[in-house]
Structure 1
Amino acid sequence: MNSHLDHQPTFWAVIPAAGIGQRFGADGPKQYVSVCGQPIIQHTINSFLQHPQIEGVVVVLHSEDSHWSTIYPVEPQGLWVTVGGEQRVDSVLQGLMALEGKAHEHDWVLVHDAARPCLRQDAIQRLIHECQYDAVGGLLGRPMTDTLKCVNQEQGVEKTLSRVGVWQAQTPQMFRYGLLRTTLDHLTHQDRLRITDEASAIELQGYVPRMVLGDVSNIKVTHAEDLALAEWYLQQESVS
């Protein structure tokens, strides 16, 4: 086995898919809703399976998931599944643990939302290209263009926030396997409840992730009305 000094870092993907999509309103988890003839999660997985630099993909499922086997009766080469936890951070950590024995400490892990099916190959490549020699890693994102308002519990606007330097975070978020696993494993209970992505956990340790420009099309399907837009983006990608 090569030492870390000799080992050329490998790229892995972890897709947390243990959520039940309460805001979506469908009968089942939103990641299994069909778009362009395939479940959302299948589009998401294919983005990584088709990328030449991704060595393997771990999908983290809910313990009572009954939909997965209808899509993948047998997982193809390079795709593994494991069971997640209560919070996103728990599920991502379970995904990292599933890579034990496969991933080296200095390998890169790209964590991606299951409900972002419109991820383009060139966006993955851009993230890898800009972060693979970075000391920390980074994430895709877009600069905010809408005006931001701070609203109270009565829906009253209290103030307008500056959007200068404010970006909307996307996924994938790419960090070293060892750093990300150690960081998530040592989070306090309070930190686990307040972080919403991997980058925020890394930031808590004093690191500065790199922000890489993502695509407008890399939307997260959160509400039912997002489906039509996701379908349009996928159709545009298929004819390009």
Structure 2
Amino acid sequence: MSQIWLIVPAAGQGRRMGADKPKQYLTLADEQPVLAHTLARLHRAFPSARLVLCLDADDRWFLPHWVPFNDWQRVEGGSERMDSVLNALHAMAANDDDVVLVHDVARPCITVNDLLALYQAAATHSAGALLAMPVADTMKRADDQCQSARTEPREGLWHALTPQGFRYALLRRALETARQQQTLVTDEASAVEALGECPQLVTGRRDN
């Protein structure tokens, strides 16, 4: 059985939120930060996984006791998500066939069932898999004056969620290719798609 690896990009500075700290360190009702909740949920599904946590070099909020994994390492995050994930991939002592799941730190509501379903799909589908939700809202196309120009058909459209999971070799090749071609990708699946692969969509929950 291949090793399960988890990459959690958590180097964001939360500037868009205007908070006094990054969103992953905002506390929830139990006074624990979002980051701690996210890692706890991942650990519940994959207690034996190996975690790579991407943090900003100047992060002054992180506390190691929030990490429930026995086998984990910290790597420096990059300026973009893709850079953080690539830093993690380069730091990992992974085999080509190991399954790597990448999960947003700001998604603490992910369920164990969804995590297990995503892993199963990623482990069995050669192009990997991602959690996603079919688009249920009416989609509008704006003109250059931010006016609704037309309604777009939503059939076949999905909201991409995380985790997204791929074999180590495929994910590394996809992201390294995107970097070499100076293509800015906003998720791992888009980099894999650029190689001509078609990751499996696994229906997730709207509250993810």
TM-score tier after normalising by the smaller chain length? over 0.9
2:58 to 53, 60, 64: 64
Using a 3 Å threshold, how does the CA distance of structure 1 residues 73 and 23 change in structure 2: closer, same or farther?
closer
Maintained 8 Å contact 2:123/2:167: no
1:44 matched residue in structure 2: 38
Runs of 5+ in structure 2 lacking a partner?
Answer: none
1:152 to 134, 143, 153: 143
1:110-189 matched pairs, under 5 angstroms? 110-188=101-179
**Alignment RMSD, CA only?**
1.8
What secondary structure sits across from 2:166 in the alignment?
strand
2:99 matched residue in structure 1: 108
Distance (whole Å) between structure 2 residues aligned to residue 159 and residue 79 of structure 1? 49
Q: How many pairs were matched up?
A: 207
Distance (whole Å) between structure 2 residues aligned to residue 50 and residue 76 of structure 1? 10
Identity %: 38
1:207 matched residue in structure 2: 197
What is the CA distance between 1:152 and its match in structure 2? 2.9
Maintained 8 Å contact 1:142/1:167: yes
Using a 3 Å threshold, how does the CA distance of structure 1 residues 131 and 73 change in structure 2: closer, same or farther?
closer
Q: Deviations over 1:102-144 (max 9, x none)?
A: x211000000001101011111111122331111111000000
Distance (whole Å) between structure 2 residues aligned to residue 86 and residue 181 of structure 1? 18
Maintained 8 Å contact 2:142/2:150: yes
Q: Deviations over 1:13-53 (max 9, x none)?
A: 10001111222121111110001321001111112222246
1:227 matched residue in structure 2: none
What is the CA distance between 1:167 and its match in structure 2? 0.4
TM-score of the two chains, using structure 2 as the length reference:
0.93
Using a 3 Å threshold, how does the CA distance of structure 1 residues 53 and 107 change in structure 2: closer, same or farther?
farther
2:91 matched residue in structure 1: 98
